[in-house]
Amino acid sequence: MHLAAAHLPPVLDPDFWVAPEIARLIGKMYRSEGRRPPKIRSGNDFFKMEYVLPRTDPKKVAVSYSGGKDSIWNLWHASRDRGMENVLLVHVHGLNTANASRELAYTRRQAQAYGVPHLRVLDLVNSSGLKGYMVMRSRDIFMAALAIPSALEFGASKVYIEGFAETSPDEPFSGQERNMRFFNLTLQALGIPVQVAWKNRTEMGVMEDLLRHKPEWLPHVVNCFSAPLYQPGIRRSWARNASSFPLYDSQCGSCVKCRITNLGRVLHDKELRRTTRPEDVRYFLANTAAWMRGKGVTHADMIGGSFTRDFKHARREFSV
């Protein structure tokens, strides 16, 4: 499915057996783009896979884990409801080549700081040559599916992923909640005793929850889009212009992910509000307003919804 997502070729000729249930999922992805389902040639040319899967425990869960704030929020929920000993973190390392090493380092740091006993790192290399926005058609299902073998081995009955609270109508196929539900039906039809699970919470809601319940966890977050090469210079600029505004050590301060996180801190972090000069908060808000004017189209899917609503609230509060 993931290999076909970028270009949607009319004929697929894989060198492995494709289960009918997976073929239907692929066909649904094609139809979402107004295309006819592909012809899959492998069919009966390969042995049908026979498998016996272990039983899973409803008390155990896995979390598809990047080290970002949504992953941390899922870990908080899962550990609160089931106990940390019943949670497995599954981190896929190597697909995001620009920040892969840093994400892995912070994921390991988080596991140690939070007392997570079960962490599985999957080392992958993208040798397909596929990249860019079109791969997003299958990305969320692909990432959830990668965690399922580790979940089975751990005995987990669910794999938690980021929710769909702020999904736009034009989100790619696997970014739509209804299609993730269809993937769950596919897993069920295949007899795989694991389901993908999620809780819908807005960007700002995630920050509010973590700052209220686990403020000591957030300094370990890794959510920055900037390449490590450019981070030091960007951080120096923030230090010059807003010296009392404390960036987390993983942050550049200027990318969309850092701005989302830091807006949440401005609104909900009691320590930041106590120690940061109001003029530095106003600088952050004014700088972000200027940034939004330039990024309103390209980042509309990320800065709409709760971010825009709460940003307006912050500007009113600080008279920006």
Residue 188: give its domain's CATH number: 3.40.50.620
Same domain as 292, residue 227: yes
Same domain as 253, residue 123: no
Q: HSE on the CB side for 182, CA within 13 Å?
A: 20
The answer as to whether 180 is a domain residue is: yes
The answer as to whether 32 is a domain residue is: no
Same domain as 67, residue 188: yes
Predicted structure pTM score:
0.93
Cβ contact 103:123 at 8 Å: no
Mean pLDDT (whole number) for 114-132: 87
- Residue 127 in this model has a pLDDT that exceeds 90: no
Same domain as 142, residue 126: yes
Helix (H/G/I), strand (E/B), else coil: 245:
coil
What residues make up the domain containing 142? 57-197
Same domain as 189, residue 82: yes
**Which of these three, 197, 219, 234, is where a domain ends?**
197
Same domain as 243, residue 185: no
Residue 44: pLDDT band (50, 70, 90) is low
pLDDT in tens, 256-283: 999 999 999 999 999 999 999 999 999 9
**Which of these three, 197, 230, 247, is where a domain ends?**
197
291's tokens: 């940034």
List all residues 6 or more positions away from 85 whose beta carbon is below 8 Å from its beta carbon. 117, 118
Same domain as 173, residue 246: no
Same domain as 144, residue 91: yes
Query: Residue 132 CB: number of other CB atoms within 10 A?
Result: 7
The answer as to whether 257 is a domain residue is: yes
The answer as to whether 72 is a domain residue is: yes
pLDDT of residue 168: 82
Same domain as 238, residue 217: yes
- Residue 100 in this model has a pLDDT that exceeds 80: yes
State how far the Cα of 149 lies from the Cα of 192, in Å rounded to an integer.
10
